[in-house]
A and B are shown apart, each in its own frame.
Chain A
Amino acid sequence: MNDNVINVENLVKYFDGRCVLDGINLKVPQGCIYGLLGRNGIGKTTLIRILLGLESPTRGHTSLLGIDSTNLPVEVRGRIGCVAEGHNLIQNYKVSRLIKLCKDLCVQWNNEFFEHLIETFRLPLDRRVKELSIGMRAQLNLALAMATEPELLILDDPTLGLDTVARRQFLELAIELIQQQKRTILFCSHILSDVERIADRIGILAAGKLVVDCRLEELKKRIKKLQVIFPNAAPENIYITEIINQQIRDREIVLTVANWNRQKQAILDTFKPSSCTEIPMSLEDIFIECTKPAQDVIQTAV
């Protein structure tokens, strides 16, 4: 019985002949906050839907809490909380009716916590779900997911529609949850500064593959952006492997390299640059570099 709360093995998914996920392998250990990143339409939502058993894979399999996703029994579903894409919920129900439905169906329900969240978010109980703004639906969705005190929280773009204050509230909630025993969170977001704050591990989905899957600090260590200035014209070709991006202008090369190490530094030195400065990269910078089209796969080991 492995300790991985989420396990994805060789997952392949085709939609209408188009390959959306091409052999995804992912393991999320217990206690981890995993940030899954990727551009719109790249397959993050598909991956999450397959994890939750809403969609079936073309090949390969996925499991949550040790149980295969296509076969999740009630007890296991009760330990998983999720916020699905778009915060659809059930549009024409009244908020109060939806809450009662969840309360009645859920195995665990922390009503005190839920009431506290409803109050904090100031959610109106007598309106229909479709009448709420997307931000309020997001908060309702989040409150419903967290009230069950889930061991595993799967969130697909949970901050969609949330204003700045609400986003910070969400982050604080996530942090509060993770501090409790044996909790794990998997979430997708486009707000990379948020992901940077709370994620332990990062995965980047691009062109159907998981091009990055490692700890956040490791990612920042392994991918470096260097400004190299040469005394005369910059050389056309620097024979360093795993260059993600380079821009040459007169005497300057700005180089983005994966898995920077001493050998690469030595190779660079043979070109006798007059200066070599590291340009700090935020997660957003790294993400943009990694998702530029036609990039080689940068496999960073676990």
Chain B
Amino acid sequence: MQFNINNSSGRPVYQQIMDQVKRDIALGRLIKDEKLPTVRELAQQLAINPNTIAKAYRQLEQEGIIVTRPGSGAFVANLDSNLSKSVKKKLLSEELERIAVDAYHMQIDRQILRQWFEKAVEKFNLAEEKEKTNE
């Protein structure tokens, strides 16, 4: 697991860690029941205070995103799709807003933007609608 910590951003480090764990889970880079690095390992790897990592893990556990098993460590929880959906929504909405802002400044209208969007989702073969199999 690679983390990117930005010390000069206003966002507290423990929240940055939480964000990145959530993001990785949402993007499928971390899967259900996968073991996260221990507080100790991560502290050494990033050279940051272990308390910060511990706090991030505690919060994540409170939010139900990870579970800690005493003696074994921290694992990605068995997420229900609603929770991951809200995370996904947040992540993508932020990206979309960024695109909208850029489009505004570049004076690109909605029509053209929609065209380019269709091209992009076409390129990656995004399904028109997700099959409602086991929700």
What is A's interface to B at a CB cutoff of 8 Å? 33, 168, 171-172, 175-176, 178-179, 193, 196-200, 217, 220, 278-285
Contacts and interface: CB of A to CB of B under 8 A. Distances in A.
Contacts of B49: 33, 175, 178, 197-200
Contacts of B40: 179
Interface stretch (B8-16, B19-27, B87-95, B125-133): B8-16
A198 B43 CA distance: 9
A172 B10 contact: no
A179 B43 CA distance: 9
A280 B47 contact: no
Contacts of B5: 197
Contacts of A179: 40, 43, 50
B47 A193 contact: no
B7 A197 contact: yes
Given A197-B49, A198-B47, A282-B7, 6 more contacts: A172-B44, A179-B50, A193-B7, A200-B51, A280-B11, A282-B9
A175 B50 contact: yes
A175 B47 contact: yes
Contact of A198 (B9, B10, B11, B48): B48
Contact of A280 (B10, B13, B43): B10
A284 B8 contact: yes
Contacts of B8: 193, 280, 282, 284-285
A284 B51 CA distance: 21
A93 B58 CA distance: 50
Interface residues of B, number: 18
A279 B11 CA distance: 11
Interface string B105-127: 00000000000000000000000
Interface of B: 5, 7-14, 40, 43-44, 46-51
8 contacts: A172-B47, A175-B44, A175-B49, A175-B50, A178-B49, A178-B50, A197-B7, A198-B49
Nearest to A33: B49
B11 A217 contact: no
Q: Which residue among B5, B7, B9, B12 has the maximum number of chain A CB atoms within 10 Å of its CB?
A: B7
Contacts of A172: 44, 47
A200 B50 CA distance: 10
Nearest to A282: B8
A5 to B, nearest CB: 16
The listed residue with most B CB atoms (<10 A of its CB), out of A175, A176, A283, is: A175
Contacts of A285: 8
B12 A220 contact: yes
Contacts of A33: 49
B44 A176 contact: yes
Sorted from nearest, which 5 A-B pairs have the closest CB atoms? A280-B10, A282-B8, A171-B47, A197-B48, A198-B49
A217 B43 contact: no
B14 A217 contact: yes
Contacts of A282: 7-9
Contacts of B47: 168, 171-172, 175, 197-198
A220 B10 contact: yes
Given A198-B48, A200-B51, A175 B43 contact: yes
A278 B11 CA distance: 11
Nearest to B11: A280
A258 to B, nearest CB: 15
A172 to B, nearest CB: 5
A283 B44 contact: no
Nearest to B51: A200
Contacts of A283: 7
Given A172-B44, A175-B43, A179-B40, A278 B50 contact: no
